[in-house]
Amino acid sequence: MAKLEPGVVWGDQYQTLLRACKEGAYALPAVNIVGTNSLNAVMEAAAKNKSDIIIQLSNGGAQFFAGKGMEDSHKAKVLGAVSAAQHVHLLAKEYGIAVVLHTDHANKKLVPWIDDLITYGEQYFKDHGYPLFTSHMIDLSEETIEDNLETSARILKRMVPLGMSIEIELGVTGGEEDGVGSDEIDNDKLYTQPEEVLQAYEVLAPIGHFSLAASFGNVHGVYKPGNVELRPEILKNSQELVASTKGLGHNPLDLVFHGGSGSEKDKIAESLNYGVFKMNIDTDTQFAFAHAIGEYVEANADAFKHQIHPETGEPHKKQYDPRVWLRKGEEAMIERLNEAFIDLRSAGKTLVG
């Protein structure tokens, strides 16, 4: 198996990683982060599990990374993503893991966010000889497929000289993620048509590397089950249509599983056979982080009300020190990710070493 250097992967190294995932029928968790606590927890979890990892920021996560108080929220979304990326470039090597750095859903009104990130990335590439991010996502699944592919093609053309890839989305994934998403949609729109996947391949493959989030009944976030049925065979049919029409080998597409939180484990496992190399996880890790801190606060309630115990006079500093309870959140996030590495079968499969 081809080996990778630890650090942020891009270009050929990224594609080496994708190939290993698809050939080995495993996928990498793509974890949304919002600050150094979640970011470091993800790197720690990947290192402990000897898995490579995808770290991504939504626009809201990027804004939060720069600080909610920054007046210019657009600028915060750009600079927050840049700042987080620099943190990963500096530290991923030390954790000894290969990291794919990515930005999550950008719908039509967020296209300027991506364009500005690429402008930043162009300067970064000039200075360093490698890109700031491995890939960006453009989610124009709510637009017509023509508009979706036209804009995605334009963005991909900007990224190819930087050795970057694009992720696009076809079909509507239900639910809501970071304010991006839809609540009321036709049921049949929840399933991407293989013909549309072929159309995307024909537009984008000649330009550069792309990955594709196809809807197969998946839902962003965690909702009551029962509304839609996960149908991984849609992924299989899409792979087969593109392979047979274009004369390509097995599983030619690099597919992405959105809305993985709360999905049935057997459907996750099945999708790994159909070229899925990435599964987004956000809602479940958010809950793990919050749940552990909630338990800690409950167990140490007094320390969160009084700096010094009102009767004994004992200082509570050891309990309310943010490092103590933020660490509880990090540890719980790592524990939830341990489960994801097993579900996605990526534990022990790092290409670094």
Q: Which of 26, 52, 20, 22 is nearest to 343 (CA)?
A: 26
Rounded least distance, CB 237 to Zn ion, Å: 19
Find the farthest-apart pair of alpha carbons in the chain and give their distance in angstroms, rounded: 78
Task: Between 32 and 63, name the residue whose CB sits nearer to Zn ion.
Answer: 32
Q: Name 180's Cβ contacts closer than 8 Å, sequence gap at least 6.
A: 58, 105, 107, 110, 139
Give the number of residues in contact with Zn ion, rule: CB under 5 A.
4
Piece of 83-91, 128-136, 257-265, 323-331 that binds Zn ion (CB under 5 A): 257-265
Rounded least distance, CB 229 to Zn ion, Å: 18
Task: Between 81 and 98, name the residue whose CB sits nearer to Zn ion.
Answer: 81
152 to each of 74, 145, 167, 209, 259, how far by Cα in Å? 21, 10, 9, 11, 21
113's tokens: 């966010």
Task: Between 191 and 296, name the residue whose CB sits nearer to Zn ion.
Answer: 191
Rounded least distance, CB 213 to Zn ion, Å: 5
Which of 209, 258, 336, 349 is close enough to bind Zn ion by CB under 5 A?
258
Which of 63, 103, 107, 173 is close enough to bind Zn ion by CB under 5 A?
173
User: What is the side-by-side order of every strand in the sheet holding 180-182?
Assistant: 180-182, 174-177, 219-220
Task: Between 56 and 173, name the residue whose CB sits nearer to Zn ion.
Answer: 173
The radius of gyration computed from the CA coordinates of the chain, to the nearest angstrom, equals 21
209 binding Zn ion? (CB under 5 A): no
Q: Which of 236, 235, 238 is nearest to 258 (CA)?
A: 235
Task: Between 87 and 258, name the residue whose CB sits nearer to Zn ion.
Answer: 258
Using CA atoms, how far apart are residues 184 and 186, in angstroms rounded to an integer? 7
Phi, psi of 329 (to 5 degrees): -65, -45
One character per residue 3-22, x = contact with Zn ion (rule: CB under 5 A): --------------------
Rounded least distance, CB 252 to Zn ion, Å: 21
Task: Between 173 and 193, name the residue whose CB sits nearer to Zn ion.
Answer: 173
Rounded least distance, CB 95 to Zn ion, Å: 27
104 given a catalytic annotation: yes
Rounded least distance, CB 130 to Zn ion, Å: 27
Q: Which of 52, 72, 104, 266 is catalytic?
A: 104
Piece of 1-9, 10-18, 34-42, 255-263 that binds Zn ion (CB under 5 A): 255-263
- Comparing every residue's Cβ against Zn ion, the nearest one is 258
Using CA atoms, how far apart are residues 316 and 264, in angstroms rounded to an integer? 43
Catalytic residue positions? 104
Residues making contact with Zn ion (CB under 5 A)? 169, 173, 213, 258
